[in-house]
Structure 1
Amino acid sequence: MTRRSATISTTALEHPGLDYGALNAEGTALTQQLSGDIWTDYNFSDPGVTILEQLCYALTELSYRAGFSVADLLCDPDSGQIRLRRQGLYPGPAIMPVNPVTIADLRRLVLDRVAAISNVWFTPCQPDRVGGVNGLYDIAIHVPEQADPCCTHATYRPEQIVRRVRDTYTAHRALDEDVNSINILSLIGTRVAARVQMGDHVDASLLQARLLFTIGLFLAPEPKRTTLATQLAAGKTTAEIFDGPLMLRGFIADDQLTPLLTAIPVDSLLRLMAETTGVVSVGGLTVTLSGDAHTYIAGETIPVPAGSLLWLDTAANADGSFPIQLYRGDVACQPDPRRVAVLLAGLWTAQRRTYALRPEYEEAYAPPTGKPQDLSAYYSVQNQFPNVYGINAYGLPEQASPARHGQAKQLKGYLMPFDQLMADYFSQLAFLRNLFSVRTGGGTTTYATQSLRTIVPDVAPLLSPDYEAGLASVTAASDPVAERRAAILDLLLSLYGESLAAPPQSGCDCGNGDDADDPPLVRAKQALLVRMVPATRDRGRGFDYRRPALWHNQAGMLIRCRIQLGILDRTAAGGGSSGGSSGAIVVTDPAEATIGQSLDGELAAVVERYFLPVDRVMHSGDGDDGEEETDITAAPLAGQRVPAPLLPALADPERYRIGILPGERSVRVACRGSDGGWWLLGSHPRTEDAIASVRGLVRANGGQAIRRQLYVVEHVLLRAAAPLSGTPGSRYSFRLSAIIATSRKEAADIVWQRQVTAIVRENTPSHIAPQCLFLDRGAMRRFRTRYDAWIDALRRGPPERLAEASLRLERFLADHSASPDANPAASQQPPHA
């Protein structure tokens, strides 16, 4: 094996910054132009020429590093890994898929997430059949397990399957849509008999298995899945591969999602059998159904009862023969029943095979790995000068005269501006990783510098004590931080086709956020980058009312609405369920909690009836003066285990109440969790101490004393109140109410309210009619009481409690609605294909 010899290319360099000769020529021309007649002794030994040559040489290194791959520039300098989300970047499997939009999307999703079913069909309910309500679905599911003779009552649990399907749908349902019913299709035993002529050299057992499989798949279809490798081999683009919801168990093509058959022509079975490989002709086809005395023949149509599927009986007769008889000429061919069963099982196994796609995604869409290196490292240009100059690391000899030392220092001082610029350039290159990220450099600067104290040899005598401070001051004076950060965030947002205008400003500073020094628009853009995936993927998704109302469980439109309105508390900005910077540890089992005692029964009723809302006494007036309260508790939840329903509620001051329980003297603090229940947080000797503890909890969890809030109520979920209220079904169809908490100044600010209304409408799907309700503190408190009770009833309440809670909330919304006009969108259909 011969090794290729190392050569230097003679072709022109791609970038002029890498071409030392071009840089030197341009520098010489500029120097001659600027010096005019002063520089007359131009030769290669001239110190000016030497200085120019060394600077040009250093510039080639800067150009070389600047040409590194994006992976090299953005990777961690130690590990070489790129933290995509830190940079505001997302891999294809995260950013490309969307919440189900079409019925085909819904079918794919449920099939992918519920392993126990083999097929599913969504049928939009006609409004006249469901009380005039639009946007409801009947879901029919196919569970082959019920036909398995080995299946027992202990292993086949239809109620669990139905619950899994319901949970999957509600977790991904479209805004203002819901499920009406979920039914497992009953299987009707079907026998198909025929006389089949088979070709020469055809295996009778294999043909019998193929015929049984083909007919069975046609009567009770089950989609076939493919791998990511198959999709890529077919030439599909990333956008085409991730068109729809994210698949985890295999891709399902459109032609696999066949409709639910309500009638089957016998001729269709005849044609299907005739097209099977190895079949020459088919005759004498008959079909019989269990419980139906009629025998269907060619030319007839088999009606499929509602809520049923035809299930092919593949068992052999008692004598080992099959209803489908195989012939080669006049000679009957008898398949081996055992072999047929094995081959048929193999065909069904191949049809039902699933594929773990996550490993394929991780391999095909893994972020690139960069080469770890210190991009800011700079070797002073003074080290490149010949020793005779006395300015490199060797310095001057000991016997050099003071005058010679002075000359060397003079030249070093002359070169230091060049050194500083070059050092800063390299530092800026290393800073790109922080600058082009969600944090955009951290907010204090967008230009990076580095000190020359450890870079330039023997430089200490030339630097003043406040050199670093002066360098930072000079840099800051020419650094338009806000404008540059906004431009960088605009660039990152443009990668996803997104942009943001400044949040509407009212007379009340009710914005939230950890970075109070950042402009509202910068905070909004950062929040959108952090939550780009759910903000784009779930724009048309409703909230999952079967799960606790945690920060991540909300209607998709609320994410962008809250960002555009500047409601940037930790949860809205995507802080995370781990407790964020509060230091809390989230636990799902209340018994493991170290703070928060759940109240039920009489004690919960005492809190509800007699405890005083904290926000009434927490502030003077309406809080519009913007007075800041002192945070007396730095981290009250650090290391504490907090129940999952309690943590997201701790940032909201309107959820707290204080009072004294029967038989006690201390003041108790209670908080209404996201599950609608009351939680005791602690006891205090004085009311002032209880209020102070609430203030500390609110601030530690990213809330503020005066907090703008936004909620969405989907009217289709209020339909349980219809029998009590007599409201026509059309009033529940494709309508929603957006409830916004307002201060006194905001209540009088019509321009601000119009801006908020425009933002809500912009983020609402076009077929849904929204209304905005602006509520003061008292009305908001009454709304929250009804809203929390309704949410809890949706999750776990019996129908009677849900109807009552829905009625109370519906009447509240009607009482505060500006104009109960007819719904302009009620006659429209959802955008399902």
Structure 2
Amino acid sequence: MNFALLRQEGIKYIERLAGQLWTDYNTHDPGITILEQLCYAITDLSYRLDFEIKDLLAPSSGENRKQFFTAREILTVNPLTINDYRKLLIDIDGVKNAWLEPIKNRQLPIYYDLILHTLSFKASDFTEEINLNGLYRVMVEKEKDISDEASLLEKIKTKLNQHRNLCEDFALIEILSIEEITIKADIEVDEGFDINELMAKIYFGLDNFISPNLQFFTLKELLDRGKTPEEIFEGFPLEHGFLDDEQLESFTKKDELHTSDLIRIILDITGTKTVRNITLASDKSSELEEWALALDRNLTPQLKDIDSLVNNITFYKGQIPCNLNLAKAKTHLELLQRQNTKSISTTQIKDIPIPQGQYRELSDYESIQNDFPANYGIGELGLPASASPLRKAQAKQLQAYLMFFDRLLANYFAQLEHAKDLFSFQDKNKITYFSQDISQIPGAVEILKIDNNSSAVQWNDIDLERKNRFLNHLIAQYCEKFTDYSLLLYNSILEEKLINHKVNFLQNYPQISAGRGKAFNYTDSTQVWDTDNVSGLKKRICSLIGIPYKRQTLALSDESTKTEGFHIVEHILLRPYSSQNSEDNPNFLNFGQHISEFQSSTISNKIVTCVSQEHGLFENEHIQIFDTDNYNGIYFVTNVQQNTFDIEIETGFVKSEEGQWVQVDRPLDPYSFQLSFVFPDWQFQNENFRKLIYKIISAEMPAHITPYFHWLDKSKMQYFERYYTHWLNTIVDKNATPENLKSTSNNLIKALEIASVDIREFNVLGYMTIGTDFVVS
């Protein structure tokens, strides 16, 4: 931006290039005049480059451009922790407090039969109890003024299922009943204090201790406290403000009330002198407690209203009891409640706004010809009509020489104007080099023979390569990459497709990132197929491999109407809901895989070939054979074929009936933290692409979840999708009976061969279950 320095450096270049041929460097020299005009244009460009970044990226008037995600969009996540879900619940109008706790089973115990290798509802000497993981009990304390509990419960269920995590479920949601607490106390007060006001303050303090109200904060309050945006926006975005984690953790569910805590609250109120005696009681027990009152975990404690409590609390001044005026005490209490009830508006500022820049018209370019002295005859005024043809030709020659610099500078300004487009992901425009029209520059139409009907600038391979690099830069800001996918699809045709996928990925990134562990909402009955109501994991995986994530029918598609995709099934949603009508046959899930025949081997008499259709075993796997006459025991499998495998026995081949086999040391629980991926095998024939799918899924899968892979042909996919559709329609039906759920779940379990065959395509280190040790499988 230093004009003098630019001029000096320009003259140095002229001196070095011209040598003794050019000795006149004074200002009247035309060459120096041209140099000065170019230096001025460069300072103008540098001046614009020096604008603040918010100005360089500012949209023009009337242009709607979203250049950045806000803190509320990009820093928040779908609820993940227990505290996240408590905040989600407390944010619901009518909910005062809430708690979540893991439970083993919702309604009935489940047992694994060690002899029959089945899951059963019936316990015996040969069964082992199976505890499901990922199920939660939700307990809610409602506000005092809420009378319609059914409506509130429906709102809670809807909200929870909209934000359910993958492989988890809310098995029990309940609004806790009230356990009324009664306090009897004799309190001595100082002279000069209003007894009615003291009663209101004491009641208010005790009520907030027994059943506390959580305080919502505004964004400004937390920023003023020194909280960083990363801390403030951690967790799920709430509608009523922000909840402090430390405050939330202090509001745990109480097991008992101690009189010492109540005495401390009373004595902290100015005007109280001493508590002579105090006792606690509950409407669930007639016993008066002097030290501690045990609370029912399935109820929520609440102090009796002031009307009932006023007769239990006696105030003394010295030895003289004081008479309370209930009406005045209630007036003081109502005033206290109004002062301490913070009404948070849903329209409050809950986000940090993106800085708004000033649009600077960066591409506005004035030709350097117009800055030349008028006697040059090249500006807008031109030459007089009396000028000779030679003089006109000389002026036109100078214009043609300067037009090279005009084009270069005009395009520089255009490139600066479109810098915001280079770093934008709001459209799929592939152009990365920008220019602007110079037909208005003096002499341009005649000299350049500009065709005003020429087509617009088209992108080329260099633009594709550059656009990909710009998008890689934007994606890298979120610690993401498309490297593997890029290598697989690297050519100019597919690179354009890759750009579109990257743009879609960035546009949907808040949902793909924040909701990566989110499950689909199985209570949403609006649409089962052709819907975006799928898990966040599926959205993320599909975005990374460039296929649509909508739940669509795959089996009926052909090459002309090719529908790419896959299905994800959460095993926890297939768990048994009821043991009704199972007394005659309590076994509801068989782990065994059928062996239809035992054949002698031509290799050796001690090698026996087992016929088992599509068994899914691998070489040297460890299995247990049972339910046979001669082959019950544990074996290593060898010579594995699609429908047969060999075992080695001590006694040699013996004719035997049918049997079953199970894998040894496999997880006995087929439901907890397990997913089935169902792929159409005719769509993913490329072996490298399959490897890419495995790699992406293993990288994106939550560490505590075990994936299983099913590659189905069209006939098997039709069979699966028929039962999958039936199950989806049943699970969203609020009127579905436990028997209907049981039937449709069992059909889907059969279609996926859950529990009977371990269909994993890559080695899994292990999975972690809540409340247990880390299990390596």
| Structure 2 counterpart of 1:711, one-letter code | H
Q: Does 1:24 align with 2:7?
A: yes
**Cα distance between partner residues in 2 of 1:341 and 1:293:** 27
SS in 2 for 1:446: coil
Residue 395 of structure 1: how far off its partner (Å): 0.7
SS in 2 for 1:519: helix
1:429–1:813 CA distance, 2 compared to 1 (3 A): same
SS in 1 for 2:562: coil
Cα pair 2:554 2:564 within 8 Å, conserved: no
| Structure 2 counterpart of 1:401, one-letter code | S
Which residue of 2 is the match for residue 814 of structure 1? Answer: 753
Which residue of 1 is the match for residue 568 of structure 2? Answer: 712
| Structure 2 counterpart of 1:462, one-letter code | I
1:506–1:356 CA distance, 2 compared to 1 (3 A): same
Residues 268-279 of structure 1: pairs in structure 2 closer than 5 A: 268-279=261-272
1:516–1:504 CA distance, 2 compared to 1 (3 A): closer
Residue 327 of structure 1: how far off its partner (Å): 2.6
Which residue of 1 is the match for residue 256 of structure 2? Answer: 263
Which residue of 2 is the match for residue 90 of structure 1? Answer: 69
**Cα distance between partner residues in 2 of 1:777 and 1:278:** 82
Query: Structure 2: which 5+ residue stretches go unaligned?
Result: 111-130, 580-586, 591-666, 773-777
Give the stretch that moved more between structures: 286-295 or 46-55.
286-295
Q: Does 1:159 align with 2:138?
A: no
| Structure 1 counterpart of 2:210, one-letter code | L
Q: Does 1:296 align with 2:289?
A: yes
Match of 1:766 among 698, 703, 711: 703
SS in 2 for 1:101: coil
Residue 713 of structure 1: how far off its partner (Å): 1.1
**Cα distance between partner residues in 2 of 1:816 and 1:264:** 48
Q: Does 1:530 align with 2:494?
A: no
**Cα distance between partner residues in 2 of 1:459 and 1:430:** 22
Q: Does 1:828 align with 2:765?
A: no
Q: Does 1:72 align with 2:52?
A: no
Higher helix share: 1
Match of 2:546 among 566, 588, 613: 566
Which residue of 2 is the match for residue 339 of structure 1? Answer: 328
Residues 686-765 of structure 1: pairs in structure 2 closer than 5 A: 705-720=561-576, 725-726=588-589, 730-743=669-682, 746-747=684-685, 749-765=686-702
**Cα distance between partner residues in 1 of 2:136 and 2:36:** 77
Residue 343 of structure 1: how far off its partner (Å): 3.0
**Cα distance between partner residues in 2 of 1:823 and 1:793:** 32
Structure 1 residues 72-126: Cα deviation after superposition (integer angstroms, max 9, x where no partner): 33333123x6622xx3x211111111111211110001111x2112111111113
RMSD: 3.3
Which residue of 2 is the match for residue 46 of structure 1? Answer: 29
**Cα distance between partner residues in 2 of 1:536 and 1:704:** 33
Q: Does 1:493 align with 2:475?
A: yes
**Cα distance between partner residues in 1 of 2:229 and 2:301:** 38
Structure 1 residues 250-287: Cα deviation after superposition (integer angstroms, max 9, x where no partner): 32223244111233333333333333444332231111
Give the stretch that moved more between structures: 402-411 or 216-225.
216-225
Residues 785-800 of structure 1: pairs in structure 2 closer than 5 A: 785-796=722-733, 797-800=736-739
SS in 2 for 1:53: helix
Residues 93-108 of structure 1: pairs in structure 2 closer than 5 A: 93-108=72-87
Residues 625-664 of structure 1: pairs in structure 2 closer than 5 A: none
Match of 1:356 among 340, 345, 348: 345
Residues 69-218 of structure 1: pairs in structure 2 closer than 5 A: 69-79=52-62, 83-84=65-66, 87=67, 89-112=68-91, 114-126=92-104, 131=110, 132-145=131-144, 156-218=147-209
Cα pair 2:78 2:515 within 8 Å, conserved: yes
Which residue of 1 is the match for residue 434 of structure 2? Answer: 448
Structure 1 residues 624-662: Cα deviation after superposition (integer angstroms, max 9, x where no partner): xxxxxxxxxxxxxxxxxxxxxxxx67x767568xxxxxx
Cα pair 2:670 2:755 within 8 Å, conserved: no
Residue 54 of structure 1: how far off its partner (Å): 0.4
Cα pair 2:2 2:43 within 8 Å, conserved: yes
Query: Structure 1: which 5+ residue stretches go unaligned?
Result: 1-17, 573-647, 657-694, 696-702
Which residue of 1 is the match for residue 232 of structure 2? Answer: 241
Aligned residues: 660
Which residue of 1 is the match for residue 403 of structure 2? Answer: 416
Cα pair 2:56 2:359 within 8 Å, conserved: no
**Cα distance between partner residues in 2 of 1:330 and 1:315:** 24
| Structure 2 counterpart of 1:752, one-letter code | F
| Structure 2 counterpart of 1:36, one-letter code | G
Cα pair 2:555 2:715 within 8 Å, conserved: no
**Cα distance between partner residues in 2 of 1:823 and 1:136:** 23
Cα pair 2:709 2:759 within 8 Å, conserved: no
Which residue of 2 is the match for residue 691 of structure 1? Answer: none
Cα pair 1:722 1:729 within 8 Å, conserved: no
**Cα distance between partner residues in 2 of 1:704 and 1:104:** 49
Structure 1 residues 660-705: Cα deviation after superposition (integer angstroms, max 9, x where no partner): xxxxxxxxxxxxxxxxxxxxxxxxxxxxxxxxxxx9xxxxxxx972
Give the stretch that moved more between structures: 389-398 or 332-341.
332-341
| Structure 1 counterpart of 2:751, one-letter code | F
1:552–1:355 CA distance, 2 compared to 1 (3 A): farther
Q: Larger C-alpha radius of gyration, 1 or 2?
A: 2
Which residue of 1 is the match for residue 122 of structure 2? Answer: none
1:471–1:56 CA distance, 2 compared to 1 (3 A): farther
Cα pair 2:281 2:293 within 8 Å, conserved: no
SS in 2 for 1:361: coil
**Cα distance between partner residues in 2 of 1:171 and 1:739:** 24
1:441–1:542 CA distance, 2 compared to 1 (3 A): closer
Which residue of 1 is the match for residue 415 of structure 2? Answer: 428
Structure 1 residues 181-238: Cα deviation after superposition (integer angstroms, max 9, x where no partner): 1111111222101112234544322321222122222222331222222112111111
Which residue of 2 is the match for residue 458 of structure 1? Answer: 443
Cα pair 1:504 1:755 within 8 Å, conserved: no
| Structure 1 counterpart of 2:500, one-letter code | R
1:263–1:349 CA distance, 2 compared to 1 (3 A): same
Cα pair 2:211 2:302 within 8 Å, conserved: yes
Cα pair 1:505 1:752 within 8 Å, conserved: no
Residue 25 of structure 1: how far off its partner (Å): 1.8
Which residue of 2 is the match for residue 635 of structure 1? Answer: none
**Cα distance between partner residues in 1 of 2:5 and 2:191:** 79
Cα pair 1:504 1:756 within 8 Å, conserved: no
Give the stretch that moved more between structures: 732-741 or 260-269.
260-269
Q: Does 1:57 align with 2:40?
A: yes
1:341–1:428 CA distance, 2 compared to 1 (3 A): same
**Cα distance between partner residues in 2 of 1:68 and 1:99:** 38
Cα pair 1:503 1:564 within 8 Å, conserved: yes
Give the stretch that moved more between structures: 63-72 or 266-275.
266-275
| Structure 2 counterpart of 1:802, one-letter code | L
- Alignment TM-score, normalising by the size of structure 1: 0.73
**Cα distance between partner residues in 2 of 1:225 and 1:718:** 38
Residues 534-613 of structure 1: pairs in structure 2 closer than 5 A: 534-547=511-524, 548-549=527-528, 551-567=531-547, 569=548, 572=549
Q: Does 1:779 align with 2:716?
A: yes
Structure 1 residues 570-608: Cα deviation after superposition (integer angstroms, max 9, x where no partner): xx4xxxxxxxxxxxxxxxxxxxxxxxxxxxxxxxxxxxx
| Structure 1 counterpart of 2:96, one-letter code | S
Give the stretch that moved more between structures: 204-213 or 808-817.
808-817
Which residue of 1 is the match for residue 363 of structure 2? Answer: 376
| Structure 1 counterpart of 2:405, one-letter code | F
**Cα distance between partner residues in 2 of 1:528 and 1:325:** 68
Cα pair 1:103 1:122 within 8 Å, conserved: yes
Match of 1:282 among 272, 275, 281: 275
**Cα distance between partner residues in 1 of 2:456 and 2:299:** 80
SS in 1 for 2:676: strand
1:546–1:232 CA distance, 2 compared to 1 (3 A): same
Structure 1 residues 556-576: Cα deviation after superposition (integer angstroms, max 9, x where no partner): 111210011111x4xx4xxxx
